[in-house]
Chain A
Amino acid sequence: QKEVEQDPGPLSVPEGAIVSLNCTYSNSAFQYFMWYRQYSRKGPELLMYTYSSGNKEDGRFTAQVDKSSKYISLFIRDSQPSDSATYLCAMSGNTGKLIFGQGTTLQVKP
């Protein structure tokens, strides 16, 4: 079993939809949770970072961590074609080693 599981998709939604992207994990020591966005032929860029449990909002993006369920989510409101990308979850504990999910490919259709 992988430490971090992420459905690779692809996920296709119409413009304006609410998008929900998710990861599950098995290591209860994880306490730092990140979402990276990767456009085609580019490197990943940090989108959201959350420490421990709770929600964090940044514009149209909300990151949610539920440590009791070992489940993290990224919500995108009013999705735009420019949001079309691969979204990678990543997490780490005190060891410092960052573990990535496979990435979910999202397409937002105009």
Chain B
Amino acid sequence: DVKVTQSSRYLVKRTGEKVFLECVQDMDHENMFWYRQDPGLGLRLIYFSYDVKMKEKGDIPEGYSVSREKKERFSLILESASTNQTSMYLCASKRTNSGANVLTFGAGSRLTVL
């Protein structure tokens, strides 16, 4: 069964802390994505990567960075966490030639910044 694994399901951090959210997929997918999900706003794309060491900004990249050193792993980094980054973070992946752009999501990481 294909899987996207987000190792940290629930995190509580303090304002100003550096936060790492890790995502691993075992499907050999080229493309990986980070979204945040907020009530009333739906899913918003933060960053995506179409290959190792490649990254592209999504719709709301400010305050975030990403790292893709290996094909299976895509990390989201909050350099200095702020309270407005309290959210559910979803990682997803897909194959490059997936014409329908069907994404496979992880279970999510719920981050609270105090």
Contacts and interface: CB of A to CB of B under 8 A. Distances in A.
B40 A8 contact: yes
A67 to B, nearest CB: 16
Contact of A44 (B40, B101, B105): B105
Most buried by A among B43, B106, B108: B43
Contacts of A102: 40-42
Contact of A43 (B41, B45, B105): B105
Interface in A41-65: 41-46, 49, 51
Nearest to B35: A100
A36 B103 CA distance: 10
A90 to B, nearest CB: 8
Contacts of A46: 102-104
B100 interface: yes
A98 B40 contact: no
Interface of A: 6, 8, 32, 34, 36, 41-46, 49, 51, 88, 92, 96-98, 100-103
Given A34-B102, A51-B100, 20 more contacts: A32-B99, A32-B101, A36-B105, A41-B107, A42-B107, A42-B108, A43-B92, A44-B43, A44-B90, A44-B105, A46-B103, A49-B102, A88-B42, A92-B100, A92-B101, A96-B101, A98-B103, A100-B42, A102-B40, A102-B41
